[in-house]
Amino acid sequence: MTTLSVNINKFATLRNSRGGNNPDVTKAAIDAQLFGADGVTVHPRPDERHIRYDDVRAIRRIITTEFNIEGNCREQKFIDLVLETKPHQVTLVPDAEGQLTSDHGWDTIKYKDYLREIIPVFQKAGIRVSIFVDPVIGMVEGAAETGTDRIELYTEGYASHFHKNKERAIAPYAAAAKRANELKLGINAGHDLDLNNLAFFAKQVPGLLEVSIGHALVCDALYLGYENTVQLYRRQLA
């Protein structure tokens, strides 16, 4: 069964908009686990506009499921935080400074040498490494040469075309996953997956190990309740 990691960044965005500690981000992580999530994801950025570095430290102390930290490994502060907190998995994304949200995967050919240098830094600390990749066969093959443990397929393209033609939308992801399986790469996925498109994606992508979902899940939780929403998303993966 594909596992669900709940990205709690949006809880921190709401908290930061008002100050104080409401909602409590650490409690959001605890509750995600209690409500049935298989893991918790955070994505700290240098300006700490949502998840703060101290949030990561606090969550690490209470985590009982899998902990995944996403971020830009070209920032030394991020590298130091990951090595300090030692999550189960680090997901490396090629964000630019000040980027609103992740919007593309690594060019694993252009940055192969860099990735081959940085990935072992985390692996030597016992941390599984996943890298953000577009659903392009060449990028998947390039990822295999970097030494990464997993790839995370960037799914915005799938989500944006799902309602127009879901078979066409899923095709590059299914092909990329097939090639990743051949290359013995683990497969994660994330970005704009929701209750409408998740089940079809999970059924069509062979070997899918994990999805990381934040924005849509938190939006649904406003109407449906947090516990109920986590359960609804898990059912899509059954």
Whether the CB-CB separation of 158 and 197 falls below 8 Å is answered with yes
Alpha carbons within 13 angstroms on the beta-carbon side of residue 106 total: 32
CA 103 to chain centre: 12
Q: Which SS3 state, helix, strand or coil, does residue 169 take?
A: helix
Q: Is 161 one of the annotated active-site residues of the chain? A: no
Out of 66, 70, 152, 210, which one is annotated catalytic?
70
Q: Is 141 one of the annotated active-site residues of the chain? A: no
Query: How far from 40 is each of 13, 37, 153, 173, 221, CA to CA, in Å?
Result: 16, 7, 18, 24, 16
How many of the other CB atoms lie within 10 Å of CB of 197? 22
Exposed, middle or buried by CB within 10 Å (0-12, 13-18, 19+), for 184? exposed
Tell me the residue type at 3: T
Out of 50, 66, 191, 210, which one is annotated catalytic?
191
Q: Is 48 one of the annotated active-site residues of the chain? A: no
Strands 39-42 vs 3-7: parallel, antiparallel or unpaired: parallel
Out of 43, 50, 152, 210, which one is annotated catalytic?
43
Encode 37-50: b = buried (16+ Cβ within 10 Å), e = exposed: bbbbbbbbbeeeeb
Whether the CB-CB separation of 214 and 193 falls below 8 Å is answered with no
Residues 6+ apart with CB under 8 A from 217: 6, 7, 194, 229, 230, 233
Active site residues: 43, 70, 191
